[in-house]
Amino acid sequence: MRILHTIQSLASGGLEDRTLDTMAWQASNGHDVVLAAAPNSRTFRRAQAAGLVVEPVAFRGGLRPRLINQLRKAIRQYRIDVVDTHCNRDSSVALFCTDLCAIVRTRHSKNRRPKRSFWRRMRWWAAYDHVIATAAAIADELIDEGVTRPPHTSIIGEWAGEEFFADAENRERARRLRGALGLRDEAVTIGTVGMMRREKGFDHLIRAMARLRGMGLAANCVIGGGGDDGITGELKALTRDLGLEDRVFFTGYREDVAPLMHVFDIMVVPSLRESQTRVVPQAFACGRPVVAYATGGLPEFIADGVTGWRSPTGDIAHRADRIFAAATKREQSSNVATAARNYARDNMRLEPKMEHTIAAYERAIVRAETDRFVRPLSLSASSSSLASRLSLPTSWPTFLPSRVRKSTL
């Protein structure tokens, strides 16, 4: 299969890591894989360094004809069978490429405010042959909005790479990391990993650390992640204001996430809004007890008191109590961590997730060729001449029956 992945973002977080993992697996399993992304993005550079095929397409600004032509040209050049879009802007551009191949929309997050407009529903129905939701909560939202239906939707959750299950290697690297970070050996280490965004709730974790100090718990707190330097500065200022400089450590962006998680005794996911973060399966695989807010898709695999602990979203005091219990009730924490690791071993491995992804692509290709009530095709000659005068792509699409949709590559 010939697969093109598209990403508009310049930063690198869970969405981008998931996409690169997917591409690496697909490439190593006989598929021809290409990434279309901005050449100055971290994802583009990482894909290039990994030996993956990359195509420079900057999905920024409006739906410019030149941008649409770039994507259409890439699809033709690599004879793509299916495009997997991962962000909003690149998914919108793909709307104008549906006469060339199947289009899959992978949705990684929920809407803050669900949209139920007629035009949104029509766009999704006209453009996307299949939807991959990374959590059941996302799929439910999209189905409720009316933009997709269960037969055309797959739920493919997050996974943990095999490196997170490699305990012996990670423990040795973690020992060195503890020394490098200057952590106090006698203290419990609470950790988290994520991009520096406000919805990640790192300020809630820092405030919980202040409460834990008042409860008499000797604890380190490690916050791993890069992104917005302004937010990092605000968090460091909050740490100083609360007198926690000797307890809270910022590592910046890290690629050695597996050994870093083995530094933690407790993994905290402080996000105020999260669909299904990758760090929970990774922490499960590392055998780390997880404390998280009950937001988005996290309750789908964090069973309270069984595979982790949940707190009401935004309740810092409740979260501090959960962390304190996890730190002091060692036997219970060990049982929870063991249950979480077993769950990850049985349900969160890469291979089955990738097999489900390829199956979703195959369903998209079949639907694109046989089961669409409208599909785009090139305009008539008169419309093409108008497009030419307006400097628009000469293959600008219009909606016609699907049985005549497939163009010759």
What does pTM read for this prediction?
0.86
User: In Å, what is the CA distance from 359 to each residue of 62, 155, 291, 350, 390?
Assistant: 33, 12, 33, 14, 41
- Tens-place pLDDT, residues 230-289: 999 999 999 999 999 999 999 998 889 999 999 999 999 999 988 888 999 999 999 999
- Tens-place pLDDT, residues 338-348: 999 999 999 99
From CA 244, how far away is CA 162, in angstroms rounded?
35
Confidence of residue 372 (pLDDT cuts 50, 70, 90): low
φ, ψ for residue 379 (rounded to 5)?
-70, 165
What's the pLDDT score for residue 406? 39
* Residue 254: Cβ-neighbour burial (10 angstroms; 0-12, 13-18, 19+): middle
Q: What is residue 61's DSSP assignment?
A: S
| pLDDT mean over 368-382 | 52
- Tens-place pLDDT, residues 108-161: 988 766 667 787 888 888 789 999 999 999 999 999 988 999 999 999 999 999
Give the end-to-end CA distance of the chain in Å, rounded to a whole number. Answer: 15
What's the pLDDT score for residue 329? 95
- The CATH number given to 162-347 is 3.40.50.2000
What's the pLDDT score for residue 400? 36
- Nearest CA to 130 out of 78, 81, 89, 74 is that of 81
Lowest mean pLDDT of 29-43, 83-97, 121-135, name the range. 121-135
What angle, 0 to 180 degrees and rounded to 10, lies between the N-to-C axes of helices 118-127 and 136-145?
A: 120
| Residue percentage of the chain with pLDDT more than 90 | 73
Give the chain's mean pLDDT: 88
User: In Å, what is the CA distance from 403 to each residue of 75, 96, 375?
Assistant: 20, 18, 9
User: Where does residue 182 fall: left (phi above 0), alpha (psi -120 to 50 degrees), or beta otherwise?
Assistant: left
| Residue percentage of the chain with pLDDT more than 70 | 89
Highest mean pLDDT among 60-69, 115-124, 324-333: 324-333
- Amino acid symbol at 239: T
Burial 12-34, CB ≥16 within 10 A → b, else e: bbbbbbbbbbbbbbbbeeebebb
Domains of the chain, residue spans: 2-159+351-404, 162-347
φ, ψ for residue 117 (rounded to 5)?
-75, 155
- Same topology, domains 2-159+351-404 and 162-347? Answer is yes
As assigned by CATH, the class of the 2-159+351-404 domain is: alpha beta
Rg (CA), the chain: 23
What's the pLDDT score for residue 236? 96
What's the pLDDT score for residue 408? 32
